[in-house]
A and B are shown apart, each in its own frame.
Chain A
Amino acid sequence: MSIIKIENLTKDYGLSRGIFDINLEVEKGEILGYIGTNGSGKTTTIRNIMGFIKPDSGRVKILDQEVNYTTEYLMKHIGYVPGEISFPDIGDGNAFLKNQAEMIGLNDMDYANYLIGKLELDTTANLKHMSKGMKQKTAIVSAFMGKPDILILDEPSTGLDPLMRENFVDILIEAKNRGATIFMSSHVFEEVEKTCDRVALLLNGRIIDTVNMKDIHHNEVKTYVIGFEGNEDFQKFIKEPINLISKKEKYYQITVEIMDKEINNFMKTLNNYNLKYIKEEKYTLEKYFIRKINEVKTND
């Protein structure tokens, strides 16, 4: 069952800025990553999902309800981390979280306190004097504390240090495990790789691809970087019938792509050479993304 359904969503700000004909569905319990360069339209999409802005055409449905300015009743199911965090002028983190809890009708602050501990957040700090990371943590606690069924997160880990990013990933996984549906925009490929089930790639306001993370993790083509002891081996090897991606003559180094089923033959071939090193270059979402962007650009 799809919890979030985006159909032909277009919000045109002119000069080819905005989002165009976005189609996406997020299933129950799924984490969808929404990746794109700066200004590609991630935040515009999210504002449409939240019903803060109205599309020029197309629609967003949450729990089968078409979202608009007056679907605030849906908000009791939704936790939201905005892309740019600024707090109301009401004192310290505690005061803010308490007030936020009142607004969403939350009485039990146990989970909020757990999150505060997990993120090592000092809630006694004045909101005005909080660092970027602290603000981000406060916003995360505010979005997750009510254990909402749906989480809409706009670059939620911005400003978190690597250690806290790990803790945040734990919190995301916890939410997923209790059945929450999560839509998360990000430009941190690593956390998307660790958490998301599917990833939509956005470029200039259009989705250029949607990938299953399983396909990235279990890619059957592996990339290896091999360094040779000398020029002789290097020159000889590049004449082998192997899928060569790149070579660096200066370092006697080559990069090859090998299908998993050909790995044994490849090893036998390598036996005839004096190697300095061999390492596998992990196939990452980032590489996939960059390749896709280049594909689109060359097609244009």
Chain B
Amino acid sequence: MISIPLLKQTIKSNFGLWIVSTLTVSLLYTIIKIAVGSIVVSGSTDPNALVPYIQALAAAGLKLENLFVTIGINPDILSGLATMDSNVLISMIFYPVVGVLLPLVYTVIVGNKLFANQIDRGSLAFVLSTPIKRSKIAITQMSYFVLSIALMFIFITGVDVILTITIDNSLELGKILLLNLGLSLFTLAMASITFMFSAIFNYSKHSLALSGGFALVFFISKILGLFGSDLFMNMGIGIEPMGFFNNITMISLINTSSILDGTNDYIIQFAILVFISIICFTTGSIWFTKKDIPV
């Protein structure tokens, strides 16, 4: 099924980037969790302290909502602010934005190195001129990609679990695991896309342009989409039409709201990520066995 010497070669040439990505993401997790762990949640003050203010407003025949309208703030954000939880904020921004970035870079660079870069430079000649089948080469490279991402997230999730137990236990462990699973499935799907472009094109510039292009669009759209998200809308800093961007980024398939709310919507979206991975990995592998490789 796979070629061990080729696998060793691929591990050797990508190990540096793997270790840097894995450790950096772990470090980011640690910093953020320590920061969150030290937050004194503002909502924990005694709500009874508000009672005299509300009574005073009522006595004067005024409503709190009207006060906001007078100042020019949408009164809807009152309910938003009342239910706001800093953990939600962190989970919805940290995992799908900060957590995504480095694995995204990893997939784009490694994906390109698996085929296109080696064809472009010509080094694949030394593999193709051995009795290893093209399909075996493709499966070996895919196995490396899938396993390296799995190991990366096993490590990162391990760090996250330890941090959750020791420093910041504001989120349930189950949700932590699901958020990380979502992140890893997204990374896998992204890897399959870069794998496919790398297998299709014989030039690095083409493979990188498409893989990097998708990665960039997904990432920027996620950030822009945040402004249209319920979270930002509730905080009163949302811009509703920006929600459009959430529809064009694959990162939306890590449905953080569903995971945090405990609904089951995320399951189908995880399945879509797995489906994308299967399609792209298969397409890339088949393509690689059926094309001219000028080395």
Where the two chains meet, the residues of A that have a C-beta atom closer than 8 Å to any C-beta of B are 47, 50, 52-54, 69-70, 72-73, 75-76, 78-80, 82, 84-91, 95-96, 99-100, 102-105, 139, 142-143
Is B123's CB under 8 angstroms from A103's CB?
no
Q: List 6 A-B contacts (CB under 8 A).
A: A52-B295, A70-B289, A73-B131, A95-B12, A104-B131, A139-B126
Give the contact-size bracket for chain B. Answer: 20 to 34
Q: Report A88 CB to chain B, min CB distance, Å.
A: 5
Pick from B3, B12, B125, B293: contact of A103, CB under 8 Å: B3
Q: How far is A78 from B131 in the complex, measured between Cα atoms in Å? A: 9
Q: Which residue of A lies closest to B291 (CB)?
A: A69
B18 to chain A, nearest CB (A): 13
Question: A50: nearest residue on chain B (CB-CB)?
Answer: B129
Considering the chains assembled together, what is the distance between the CA atoms of A53 and B294 in angstroms? 7
Verify if B128 is at the interface (C-beta below 8 Å from A).
yes
Q: Please name the residue on chain A nearest to B293 by beta carbon.
A: A52
- Expressed in whole angstroms, the minimum distance between the Cβ of B198 and any Cβ of chain A is 15
Contact flag A54-B292 (CB < 8 Å), given A70-B134, A72-B132, A102-B5: yes
How many whole Å from B220's CB to the nearest CB in chain A?
Answer: 30
- How many angstroms from the CA of A255 to the CA of B74 in the assembled complex? 103
Q: How far is the CB of B194 from chain A (nearest CB, A)?
A: 18
User: In the complex the two chains form, is B5's CB within 8 Å of A103's CB?
Assistant: yes
B residues adjacent to A (C-beta < 8 A) = 3-6, 8-9, 12-13, 113, 118, 121-123, 125-134, 289-295
Closest to A100 in B: B126
Task: Select one of B9, B122, B290, B292 contacting A82, CB under 8 A.
Answer: B122
Contact A90 B126 (CB under 8 A): no
A72 touches B123 (CB 8 A): no
Write the chain B residue with the least CB distance to A78: B129
Residues of B within 8 A of A102 (CB): 4-5, 8
B124's nearest neighbour on chain A, judged by CB, is A88
Residue from the set B118, B122, B123, B126 with the largest chain A CB neighbour count within 10 Å: B126
A99 touches B8 (CB 8 A): yes
Contact A72 B122, CB 8 Å, known A52-B294, A88-B9:
no
Return B45 CB to nearest CB of chain A, in Å: 57
**Central interface residue in A52, A70, A87, A139, by most chain B CB within 10 Å:** A52
Please give the distance in Å from A180's CB to the nearest CB on chain B: 15
On whether A47 and B294 interact (CB within 8 A), knowing A88-B126, A100-B126, the answer reads: yes
Taking CB atoms, residues of chain A closer than 8 Å to B134 are 69-70, 72
Chain B residue nearest to A101 (CB atoms) is B5
